[in-house]
Amino acid sequence: MPTSLQAELKQSKPFGGPEHEAVLSIARTAAILEHSTSEAIKRYGLTLTQYNALRILRGAGADGLCRNEVRDRLIARVPDATRLLDRLEEMGLVVRAREGDDRRFVRARITQAGLDLIAPLDDVIQEVHRRQLGHLGPERLRQLVELLAAARNQG
């Protein structure tokens, strides 16, 4: 009897084991969740990665962060954080400045325009997450979070 993931993927052969099915299930779920979140913020002219970078810089406050600190805090890794920050700077959402004795050290900060753009997104994102996962309830969500953390810590 095919599993629900097999049916969803229209796959007739069984998976190569429970680990294989679990990894594919996580990847499929992440793709679906990411797509609906991306659709919700598209009208704001941002990608999920851009939104995430702005959220990170908002959290850093007036101190800002260097490129590598932003890169390391992103949910999804990007190959070129400099290009991401370049684009946000071109959009007027981020400013960067060289600081200190090391001229290579550039600190990025979110602008007021960036703050104004992402402020309404807090509620938008929260509502999307409620629609996506709220039906699971707090206890099952806590279990899910713990299982995913355990999976990440073994990889």
What pLDDT does residue 103 have?
Answer: 63
Domain parsing of the chain, residue ranges: 46-118
Q: Over the stretch 63-92, which tens digit does the pLDDT of each residue have? A: 999 999 999 999 988 888 999 999 999 999
Predicted model pTM: 0.85
What's the CATH fold of domain 46-118?
Answer: Arc Repressor Mutant, subunit A (1.10.10)
Inter-residue contact 37 to 76 (CB < 8 Å): no
Beta strands in the chain (DSSP E): 65-66, 94-98, 106-110
Q: Which residues contact 26 (CB under 8 A, 6 or more apart)?
A: 148, 151
What's the pLDDT at 138?
A: 96
Closest CA relative to residue 46, chosen from 91, 112, 113:
91
pLDDT number for residue 106: 86
Q: Is 45 left (phi over 0), alpha (psi -120 to 50) or beta?
A: left
Question: For residue 109, which of 122, 123, 99, 101 has the smallest C-alpha distance?
Answer: 99
pLDDT digits (tens, 9 = 90+) for 14-64: 888 889 989 999 999 999 999 999 999 999 999 999 999 999 999 999 999
